[in-house]
Amino acid sequence: MCGIVGYIGNRNATPIIIEGLKRLEYRGYDSSGIAIIDKDSKLKLYKESGKIIELERILPAPKEVYGNIGLAHTRWATHGEPTSTNAHPHTSCSGKIAIVHNGIIENFQILKNKLLAQGHVFASETDSEVVAHLIEHFSRKTDDLTLAVQEALKLVEGTFGIAVISEDHPDRIIAARKGSPLIIGIGKNEFFVTSDVSAIIIHTKKVIYLHDDEIVTVTRDSFEITTLENEVVEATISEIDWDVSSIDKGQFKHFMLKEIFEQPISVENAFRGRLVPKLSTTRLGGLNMTGDELRILEKIQIVACGTSWHAGLIGKYIIEHLSRVQVDVEYASEFRYRNPIIPKNTVVIVISQSGETADTLAALREAQARGVRVLGITNVVGSTIARESDGGVYIHAGAEIGVASTKAFTSQVTVLSLLAVLLGRMRHLSPVFGTNFINELKGIPEKIQKIIESNAQIRKIAETIKDATNALYLGRGVNYPVALEGALKLKEISYIHAEGYPAAEMKHGPIALIDENMPVISIVPKDVIYDKIISNLQEVKARNGRIIAIANKGDDVVSELAENVIYIPETLYDLQPLLSVIPLQLLAYHVADLRSLDVDQPRNLAKSVTVE
């Protein structure tokens, strides 16, 4: 969601943090701002609604806004409209203290009322501005800026990733986190503060991930981390394992298209080094569970949001089919509030691309509070979910910049498939099946590449539905969640209303919507329920529905029913989603692009949802 970039060192901070902001544009935002302490130790503030280019238009020439320390922010509106006044950074009454804040302050109104009564004057409608005034309040009692920030944050209820600078202390940045990611980048005689390593990867790969309730004081040549209770914390320095080329579009028009095309590589990276052909099984060492613990496992509870939830649903089909272990899948936001029943010998698996999804993280903590082992599946090394899980698996998809997830989804499904084989081979699954599955999985990247080669044809099909107002996606079995994911992609980036349904459920309501204007996108692979899906399509055809089918090559029956067919290679039933989702991703992408929409930054959406 919102993005934070801060710099302190010997270079001009302005171009560094503006460039950092641009690398965070993919996260979703509606305004931006920058605060610089100039060479005369004066705080300069510039804010504007809209894209970062609008902020750049109001910035003076670099020599007029030169300073070695500064903060910048992209805001995704929660409290107050997306205006320049509500944009960050926010300042105190004196104008000497500036803060940027990610998260939500739940008790801001109570704090604001107290501050108003003390004479503080507020300029914005935001919850965040409260923090600037609180820090000013405590600064009147101490000359120690770190202590003032500590005391202020002790009064705050909610979540925060926060960074602070002050005219009276022009040699330091104070930053703290609780429930919202914050990272310290270590350069040569310089430091960076950010909510996302993408903003600073061009400058350094050495980072420190702050933990909840930690606060850091950063100067030009040193840093110190303590808890909010002032206990010294020993820092752990991590190395980022990807480079700036991962966040460059290269020859592609959009990051989303680039990431769709990267899936042959990202899927292979998800299973690389995790296949054990000699034993017809897989290896997932990060689970931190013994063979005996895995064998007595009776239930898995998968908890996730959005696209990760769809991956979890596919995981349910595959794990139950191969291992006969019961799997339930639940939205994280529902799990944490409904007092869930978690039986003995249950493992909770939380899935999140970013590893920072607020509802998923809260579900993780709720499960652990009940004494349940929690495994995390995430893409980001050092993320909160990665650190707090009892074990887990990285999907190794590389940086995913497009807000609408694509390669992370297929990598998550790949990892869940590996888990299914591992559990299955510990139970009843034969070596012959295990070997066959592994060999077929090895061939999936090449088959994905074959589908990608149909990109031009898929764009032509997209032209036939780009003006639709509604669309229906149908799938059965393991492809039902793929239909949900395909509909979500179309909604996210093209703003066309779309719904995914199990094909047989179409008769129980959605069939009333079908007419010559309704595109019906159906996944029709050759499997045990193929004839059932054909019957469903005949019902659509009888009502003049416009069918776009995802089918296996050589299927002449489907071609007689469908207006357009996108052919995909055959594979094992459990691996079908890794292929059938690719055309749906491309279809959604091209529809949005043909409608001249901002594919990578769809309206109202954010890449990492770090608030409830």
Choose, from 47, 178, 258, 607, the residue flagged as catalytic.
607
What distance in Å separates the CA atoms of residue 72 and residue 37, rounded to the nearest whole number? 12
Tokens coding 534:
């054909």
Residue at token pair 């300069």? 44
Q: Distance of CA 587 to CAs 331, 465, 556, Å?
A: 26, 10, 22
Contact 430, 443 (CB under 8 A): no
What distance in Å separates the CA atoms of residue 323 and residue 289, rounded to the nearest whole number? 17
Q: What is the DSSP string of 335-354?
A: HTTS-----TTEEEEEEESS
Among candidate residues 146, 179, 188, 182, the one with its CA nearest the CA of residue 164:
146
Choose, from 2, 96, 178, 258, the residue flagged as catalytic.
2
450 counts as catalytic: no
What distance in Å separates the CA atoms of residue 173 and residue 223, rounded to the nearest whole number? 9
What distance in Å separates the CA atoms of residue 206 and residue 191, rounded to the nearest whole number? 10
What distance in Å separates the CA atoms of residue 367 and residue 39, rounded to the nearest whole number? 51
What distance in Å separates the CA atoms of residue 314 and residue 478, rounded to the nearest whole number? 6
Radius of gyration of the chain (CA): 26
What distance in Å separates the CA atoms of residue 293 and residue 345, rounded to the nearest whole number? 9
* Residue 567, Ramachandran bin (φ over 0: left; ψ between -120 and 50: alpha; else beta): beta
305 counts as catalytic: no
Task: Determine whether 560 is exposed, middle or buried from the number of CB atoms within 10 Å of its CB (0-12, 13-18, 19+).
Answer: exposed
End-to-end CA distance of the chain: 12
Q: Active-site residues: which are they?
A: 2, 607
